[in-house]
């Protein structure tokens, strides 16, 4: 899949199910490994990022057994049962793996080194290293710990009160994992509520954690019980199909069993505000997470302003929202999204660059962009910039462009969604 080409589609229809949520998959692996017995994980994300997290635990003595496609049994060794690995722990392109594991490894009784690929090793890590050091962690890395590789010497930690400079589930979850081992209470406050999968999973497992507004607090845990995890489909993956179905005339699709955690449904709210027909059906709760089937019908979209508290709830979906904006009537303004600049690519710069190649008028802003919609999206030769979400967003654009869109360097799609093109082809018939 090094180069991917998509062309105009004439209708998308049918039902589809998607692999498990990547964020929840990371956490299910972590808490299974820390549990006191055997755990079953069903519908595990098939992407490389979750596989990196799983392999790291295998390197620390955790036994796993495949139970069919996307299903896994993990035999936990308890909160204090991990073993010192003999080699560097490789996190690939996964910022979630790197940041969450930094928090978990800081209180362990051994030495570890975390390192990723060239892109990952240039993503900022001081945002987790700084507060962990305040807790007593001993972490060394390039540029005073701002870049991996990170060398971690296990230390005795103490709880702290910490206010995050930005809403970030990765930072929050990193500190929660460290807090499971720390003396006293660890209290984390965000400027706005980021995705709360870690807190929900701990509540589901019976681990004491309190939540009030945007503050989460916990003390050291005594035990994590074994559990079965049924992971809902990933809403970030569903977003590509939602936008595709909205844009391709005559389309109707039903995406079944998708996680609709309120901290993640910003993309649905945005697309509905743009005039999109999106309905949640069969809403239920699975393992502490709200789940629904999502019905989408093609719609005429209009430009809107996207900013404020909705941004953290849709931060990963902004590239494909930009495709919707490029095809909408009028102008879409995206602000308060500076966090996009420190993702797998600078997603403000890369999204603007690639949309401009397709004939779209885009003004790049320090914290977002201004997109003027067009009825005639042009075909083009584009680049993924090594970013899976940019690659998949451009593939969606190709479904409504006047001529095919080709995207170079699309192997990055495998980090989150190897089945992407198979699923898209199924809908296009």
Q: Residue 249: count other Cβ atoms within 10 Å of its Cβ.
A: 12
CA distance 212 to 165: 18
Q: What angle do CA 315, 54, 241 make, to 5 degrees?
A: 35
Q: CB under 8 Å to 192, separation ≥6 — which residues? A: 167, 214, 309, 312
State yes or no: is 387 an active-site residue: no
CA distance 341 to 202: 31
- List 294's β-bridge partners, or say none: 255, 280
Q: Which two tokens stand for residue 8?
A: 């105009």
CA distance 337 to 354: 18
DSSP 162-204: EE-SS--HHHHHHHHHHHTTSBSEEEEE-SS----HHHHHHHH
| Residue 142: DSSP 8-state | H
Task: Name the CA radius of gyration of the chain, rounded.
Answer: 21
CA distance 86 to 3: 37
Selected catalytic residue, list 21, 196, 316, 387? 316
Q: CB under 8 Å to 222, separation ≥6 — which residues? A: none
Nearest one of 26, 128, 6 to 415, comparing CA atoms: 26
Contact 159, 184 (CB under 8 A): yes
Q: CB under 8 Å to 55, separation ≥6 — which residues? A: 90
Pure H helices in 328-400: 347-357, 388-398
Q: Which two tokens stand for residue 40?
A: 């079953």
| Backbone region of residue 288 per phi and psi (left: phi > 0; alpha: psi in -120 to 50; beta: other values) | left
Q: How far is CA 278 from CA 21, 238, 274, 360, 406, in A?
A: 20, 12, 11, 25, 29
Q: Which residues are catalytic?
A: 316
């Amino acid at each position: 899949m090094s180069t991917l080409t998509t062309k105009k589609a004439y209708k998308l229809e049918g039902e589809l199910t998607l692999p498990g949520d990547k964020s929840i998959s990371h956490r299910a692996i972590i808490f299974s490994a820390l549990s006191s017995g055997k755990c079953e994980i069903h519908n595990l994300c098939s992407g490389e990022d979750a596989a990196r997290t799983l392999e790291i635990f295998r390197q620390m003595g955790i036994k796993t057994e495949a139970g069919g496609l996307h299903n896994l049994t993990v035999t936990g060794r308890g909160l204090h049962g991990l073993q010192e690995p003999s080699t560097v722990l490789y996190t690939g392109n996964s910022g979630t793996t790197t940041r969450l594991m930094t928090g978990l490894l800081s209180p362990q009784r051994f030495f570890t080194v975390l390192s990723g690929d060239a892109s990952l090793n240039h993503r900022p890590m001081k945002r987790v290293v700084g507060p962990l050091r305040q807790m007593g962690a001993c972490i060394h890395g390039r540029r005073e710990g701002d870049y991996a590789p990170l060398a971690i010497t296990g230390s005795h930690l103490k709880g702290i009160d910490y206010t995050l400079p930005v809403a970030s589930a990765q930072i929050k979850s990193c500190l929660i994992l460290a807090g499971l081992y720390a003396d006293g209470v660890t209290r984390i406050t965000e400027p706005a509520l980021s995705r709360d999968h870690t807190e929900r999973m701990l509540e589901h497992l019976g681990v004491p954690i309190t939540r009030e507004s945007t503050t989460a607090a916990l003390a050291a845990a005594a035990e994590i019980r074994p559990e079965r995890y049924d992971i809902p489909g990933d809403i970030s993956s569903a977003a590509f199909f939602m936008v595709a179905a909205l844009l391709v005339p005559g389309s109707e699709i039903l995406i079944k069993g998708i996680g609709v955690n309120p901290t993640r449904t910003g993309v649905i709210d945005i697309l509905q505000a743009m005039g999109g027909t999106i309905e949640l059906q069969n809403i239920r709760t699975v393992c502490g997470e709200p789940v629904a089937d999502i019905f989408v019908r093609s719609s005429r979209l209009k430009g809107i302003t996207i900013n404020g508290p909705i941004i953290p709830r849709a931060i990963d979906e902004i590239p494909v929202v930009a495709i919707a904006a490029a095809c909408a009537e009028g102008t879409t303004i995206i602000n308060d999204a500076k966090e996009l600049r420190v993702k797998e690519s600078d997603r403000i710069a890369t999204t603007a660059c690639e949309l401009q190649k397709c004939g779209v008028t885009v003004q790049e802003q320090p914290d977002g962009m201004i997109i003027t919609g067009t009825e005639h999206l042009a075909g083009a030769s584009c680049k993924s910039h090594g970013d899976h979400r940019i690659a998949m967003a451009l593939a969606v654009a190709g479904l409504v462009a006047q001529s095919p869109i080709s995207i170079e360097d699309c192997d990055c799609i495998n980090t989150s969604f190897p089945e992407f093109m198979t699923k898209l082809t199924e809908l296009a018939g």
